[in-house]
């Protein structure tokens, strides 16, 4: 009743008009005139030590944002130690001579502020935000981390572990693999094309971190931007106090090798076995950041693939239904930038999608952009710009970016006007110059066995694996071969491991190998989630060659029990197994399957792989029988170099073995000295890790 009463009152005060008299507009309203950006004035000064200071007084909010940038980004990493700048940035705030990492975090967070550092390709930047009445504390912390950072060995180990985990996750994503290989293709030996690897992260020492910081984090040539509720006089005093006696400049910049010249468009097809989709990246290097063609080029790129109303998105997704999204972007570095277009499509339409991408590229280069598309692109870019300079932190970031790239003092003030002045002819000319249609780099990541014949019709195709190593078409479908296991690795032992999920212990796994009069017996007991999942595996094996004779497996999941009992004999496997159902129940099924020679039971992976003839650079394609699925699967093991692996059981030099072909790819680390042991297992793209405890 109360709601009805409120409704009646509202209706009584709203004037009523006959419907026939209401006039609805048939055209959208005209856009309002472009209002000027009220960008706060900033003051610049070159301080005695060579530090460039920019102060942006912005008194609308009682906050202050500080960014201090150095030419110390990834392009300055020594060859073979890619990722060094990234690790330096992370360790800067992890302890000084007077504050531990915990004390530093508590100090800035205790006043509601933040302090962090990051490294891009060109620059390393330390950023801090706080209420303006805490600006003195901000500068005190900045001075402390810059001049007294200790780079603890323990923090480096943690930072390296996080970096390696992030890298493993990145390499599990085909889009990331495509981006890394694309950068390497267009830049070649130029540092912009390099990326961190497991080997380069592991090669970085604490001395490398300390030396890089000492060499490159110097005041001469650095940029300090302070924006917010401050005054120039106050900032100058704080700079003198925090950085007193700080002197010097970085080593002279070395000339970067030029990117390779691309004579013609071809396709680099990166084989990722089992991929159901193809990730396409195409583009080329472009211009230096100060080139005025950037403005019409930015408009052309927005029309081509800048958002949900762009040509690539509307055609490849909305019209064709080939992808969830297709995009293009124009990237600026301090050196030579690049542009790229991307799409992820189904394998069966990869050739059609790539052809359409090239067709749209030809259009943008040769035909004038329509007035409606031009207006939409300008409207978005010009209209969204004020949203990027609303807070002191955003203002500091924009000013720093403009200064670091050498874009000129009037860049921010005239940015919108320069975009608004772009004509259809100028956009077309920019597209013709930036998008080198006859010399594109095209990278496609996917299952090359399904894609090769489709793509070779469009352009010449080069084949590589996900590590960039050349492949032949014959290698696209590896054939399984029996592996002779080394009996010397079959010695009796007990391995206890812990299972981590998102870094937290969730259970244990104990594996035992023992000998009987005529057999080897391998048992594995797993207990996860406080008993929510329990599994007991018993494998009876031939002690001469490690081949399977019998499997007994009991699984209890959420109180539901299932059993598998199999016998291996005469090239067959027979017995009964069970598979879990969506409703939590299990479905039993009979097994009677002929096995290819050399087939190993899937439960014996952890037992068998340490007995492989392991050697860095070798690969094995082995048939495994899956009792849960009742099928034979081909697993591929790529053996990488040995590396230092730290687990609760100690530090081991272990082979890095990438395993594909299972439902979830994983990485095994197998110790290099006999008897070999699996010391760690990581599941790619999953926050699940198994580590040896003893």
pLDDT of residue 650: 95
- Preceding omega of 675 cis (within 30 degrees of 0): yes
Query: What are the residues whose beta carbons fall under 8 Å from the beta carbon of 339, sequence distance 6 or more?
Result: 283, 284, 286, 297, 301, 328, 329, 330, 331, 434, 435
Place of tokens 């080897």: 520
Give the confidence band of 3 by pLDDT, cuts at 50, 70, 90. Answer: very low
Q: With contact defined as beta carbons under 8 Å apart, do 572 and 590 qualify?
A: no
Give the confidence band of 41 by pLDDT, cuts at 50, 70, 90. Answer: confident
CA–CA distance, 147 with 343 (Å, rounded to integer): 45
Task: Specify the number of domains making up the chain.
Answer: 3
pLDDT in tens, 588-625: 899 999 999 999 999 999 999 999 999 999 999 999 99
Question: What value does the mean pLDDT take over residues 31-40?
Answer: 65
- Whether residues 675 and 531 fall in one domain: yes
Question: What value does the mean pLDDT take over residues 679-691?
Answer: 89
Residue 455 in any domain: the answer is yes
The pLDDT of residue 20 is above 70: no
Residue 420 in any domain: the answer is yes
Q: With contact defined as beta carbons under 8 Å apart, do 413 and 39 qualify?
A: yes
Distances (CA, A) of 34 to 31, 37, 277, 370: 8, 9, 44, 21
Does residue 327 come out as left (phi exceeding 0), alpha (psi in the -120 to 50 range) or beta? beta
Domain that holds residue 543: 487-692
pLDDT in tens, 160-169: 989 988 898 8
List the one residue out of 140, 138, 124, 144 whose CA is nearest residue 69: 124
CA atoms lying within 13 Å on the CB side of residue 550: 7
Does residue 552 come out as left (phi exceeding 0), alpha (psi in the -120 to 50 range) or beta? beta
- Whether residues 297 and 323 fall in one domain: yes
- Whether residues 492 and 467 fall in one domain: no
pLDDT of residue 35: 61
The pLDDT of residue 2 is above 70: no
CA–CA distance, 171 with 158 (Å, rounded to integer): 20
- Supply the pTM of this predicted model: 0.82
Residue 24 in any domain: the answer is no
Q: With contact defined as beta carbons under 8 Å apart, do 627 and 566 qualify?
A: yes
Query: What are the residues whose beta carbons fall under 8 Å from the beta carbon of 573, sequence distance 6 or more?
Result: 566, 567, 591, 592, 593, 595, 625
- Whether residues 417 and 436 fall in one domain: yes
3-class DSSP string for 76-106: HCCCCCCCHHHHHHHHHCCEECCCEHHHHHH
Of the residues 476, 511, 531, the one at which a domain ends: 476
Beta strand 600-601 pairing with 586-594 = unpaired
Nearest-10 crossing angle of helices 424-434, 294-305: 90
- The share of the chain scoring above pLDDT 90, in percent, equals 78
Helix boundaries (H) for 172-227: 174-187, 198-203, 206-216
Place of tokens 């932190």: 393
Helix boundaries (H) for 512-657: 605-608
List the one residue out of 462, 473, 451, 465 whose CA is nearest residue 177: 465
Residue 415 in any domain: the answer is yes
- Whether residues 416 and 281 fall in one domain: yes
CA–CA distance, 573 with 560 (Å, rounded to integer): 25
- Whether residues 297 and 170 fall in one domain: no
Q: Mean pLDDT lowest for which of 31-45, 502-516, 668-682?
A: 31-45
- Whether residues 432 and 556 fall in one domain: no
pLDDT of residue 620: 94
Residue 146 in any domain: the answer is yes
- Whether residues 653 and 543 fall in one domain: yes
- Whether residues 570 and 642 fall in one domain: yes
Residue 35 in any domain: the answer is no
The pLDDT of residue 22 is above 90: no
- Whether residues 547 and 457 fall in one domain: no
Query: What are the residues whose beta carbons fall under 8 Å from the beta carbon of 318, sequence distance 6 or more?
Result: none
* Segment holding 544, helix H or strand E: none
Q: With contact defined as beta carbons under 8 Å apart, do 300 and 312 qualify?
A: no
- Whether residues 466 and 519 fall in one domain: no
Residue 429 in any domain: the answer is yes
Q: Residue 292 burial by CB count (10 A; 0-12/13-18/19+): exposed, middle or buried?
A: exposed
List the one residue out of 293, 435, 308, 319 whose CA is nearest residue 366: 435
pLDDT in tens, 302-343: 999 999 999 999 999 999 999 999 999 999 999 999 999 999
List the one residue out of 628, 610, 491, 607 whose CA is nearest residue 549: 607
Of the residues 414, 441, 476, the one at which a domain ends: 476
Q: Residue 587 burial by CB count (10 A; 0-12/13-18/19+): exposed, middle or buried?
A: exposed
Query: pLDDT averaged over the chain?
Result: 91
- The CATH number for 198's domain is 3.30.830.10
Structural tokens at position 182: 């694309």
**345 SS3 class:** strand
pLDDT in tens, 359-407: 999 999 999 999 999 999 999 999 999 888 888 889 889 999 999 999 9
Q: With contact defined as beta carbons under 8 Å apart, do 275 and 446 qualify?
A: yes
The pLDDT of residue 563 is above 70: yes
Q: What is the DSSP string of 100-137?
A: BHHHHHHHHHTTT-EEEEEE-SS-EEEEEEEEGGGHHH
Of the residues 421, 453, 476, the one at which a domain ends: 476
Place of tokens 């680099």: 268
CA–CA distance, 547 with 361 (Å, rounded to integer): 57
Residue 248 in any domain: the answer is no
pLDDT of residue 344: 96
Neighbours of 668 (CB within 10 A): 22
pLDDT in tens, 264-309: 999 999 998 878 899 999 999 999 999 999 999 999 999 999 999 9
List the one residue out of 271, 68, 72 whose CA is nearest residue 178: 271
pLDDT of residue 40: 76
Give the confidence band of 16 by pLDDT, cuts at 50, 70, 90. Answer: very low
pLDDT of residue 273: 81
- Whether residues 604 and 538 fall in one domain: yes
Beta strand 631-647 pairing with 650-660 = antiparallel
């Amino acid at each position: 009743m109360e709601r009805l009463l409120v409704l009646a009152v509202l209706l009584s005060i709203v004037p009523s008009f006959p419907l026939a008299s209401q006039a609805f507009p048939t055209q959208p309203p005209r856009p309002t005139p472009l209002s000027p950006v009220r960008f706060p004035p900033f003051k610049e000064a070159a301080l005695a030590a060579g530090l460039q200071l920019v102060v942006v007084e912005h008194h609308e909010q009682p906050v202050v944002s500080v960014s201090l940038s150095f030419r110390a980004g990834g392009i300055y990493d020594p060859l073979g130690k890619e990722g060094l700048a990234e690790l330096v940035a992370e360790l800067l705030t992890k302890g000084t001579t007077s504050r531990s990492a915990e004390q530093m975090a508590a100090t800035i967070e205790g006043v509601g502020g933040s302090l962090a550092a990051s490294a891009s390709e060109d620059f390393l930047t330390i950023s801090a935000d706080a209420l303006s009445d805490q600006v003195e504390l901000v500068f005190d912390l900045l001075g402390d981390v810059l001049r007294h950072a200790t780079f603890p060995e323990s923090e480096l180990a943690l930072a390296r572990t996080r970096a390696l985990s992030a890298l493993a996750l990145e390499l599990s994503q085909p889009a990331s693999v495509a981006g890394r290989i694309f950068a390497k293709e267009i830049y070649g030996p130029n540092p912009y094309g390099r990326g961190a690897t497991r080997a380069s992260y592991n090669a970085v020492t604490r001395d490398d971190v300390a030396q890089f910081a000492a060499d490159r984090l110097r005041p001469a040539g650095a940029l300090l931007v302070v924006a917010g509720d401050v005054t120039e006089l106050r900032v100058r005093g704080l700079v003198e106090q925090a950085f007193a006696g700080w002197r010097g400049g970085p080593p002279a910049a070395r000339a970067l090798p030029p990117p390779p010249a691309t004579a013609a468009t071809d396709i680099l097809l990166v084989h990722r076995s089992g991929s159901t989709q193809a990730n396409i990246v195409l583009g080329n290097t472009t211009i230096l950041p100060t080139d005025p063609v950037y403005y019409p080029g930015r408009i052309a790129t927005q029309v081509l693939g800048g958002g949900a109303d762009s040509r690539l998105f509307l055609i490849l997704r909305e019209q064709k239904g080939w992808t969830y999204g297709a995009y293009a972007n124009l990237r600026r570095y301090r050196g030579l930038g690049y542009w790229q277009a991307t799409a992820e499509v189904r394998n069966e339409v990869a050739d059609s999608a790539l052809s359409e991408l090239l067709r749209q590229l030809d259009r943008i280069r040769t035909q004038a952009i329509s007035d409606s598309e031009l207006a939409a692109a300008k409207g978005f870019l010009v209209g969204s710009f004020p949203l990027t300079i609303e807070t002191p932190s955003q203002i500091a970031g924009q000013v720093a970016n403009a200064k670091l790239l050498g874009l000129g003092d009037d860049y921010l003030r005239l940015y919108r006007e320069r975009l608004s002045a772009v004509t259809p002819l100028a956009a077309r000319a920019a597209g013709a110059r930036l998008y080198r249609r006859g010399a594109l780099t095209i990278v496609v990541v996917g299952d090359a066995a399904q894609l090769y014949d489709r793509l070779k019709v469009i352009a010449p195709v080069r084949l590589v694996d996900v590590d960039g190593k050349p492949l032949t078409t014959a290698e696209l479908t590896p054939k399984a071969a029996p592996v002779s296991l080394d009996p010397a690795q079959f010695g009796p032992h007990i391995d206890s491991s812990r299972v981590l999920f998102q870094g937290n212990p969730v259970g244990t796994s104990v594996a035992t190998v023992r000998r009987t009069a005529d057999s080897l017996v391998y048992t594995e007991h797993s207990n996860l989630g406080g008993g929510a999942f329990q599994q007991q595996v018993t494998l009876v094996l031939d002690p001469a060659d490690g081949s399977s004779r019998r499997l007994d497996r009991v699984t209890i999941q959420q109180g539901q029990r299932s059993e598998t009992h199999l016998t291996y004999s005469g090239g067959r496997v027979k017995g009964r197994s069970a598979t879990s159902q969506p409703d939590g129940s299990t479905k039993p099924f009979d097994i009677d399957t002929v096995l290819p020679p050399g087939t190993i039971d899937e439960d014996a992976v952890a037992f068998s792989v340490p007995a492989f003839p392991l050697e860095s650079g070798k690969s094995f394609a082995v048939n495994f029988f899956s009792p849960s699925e009742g099928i034979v699967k081909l697993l591929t093991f790529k053996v990488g170099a040995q590396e230092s692996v730290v687990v609760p059981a100690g530090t081991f030099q272990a082979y890095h073995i990438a395993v594909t072909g299972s439902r979830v790819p994983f990485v095994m680390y197998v110790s290099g000295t006999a008897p070999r042991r699996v010391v760690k297992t990581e599941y790619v793209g999953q926050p699940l890790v198994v580590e040896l405890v003893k």
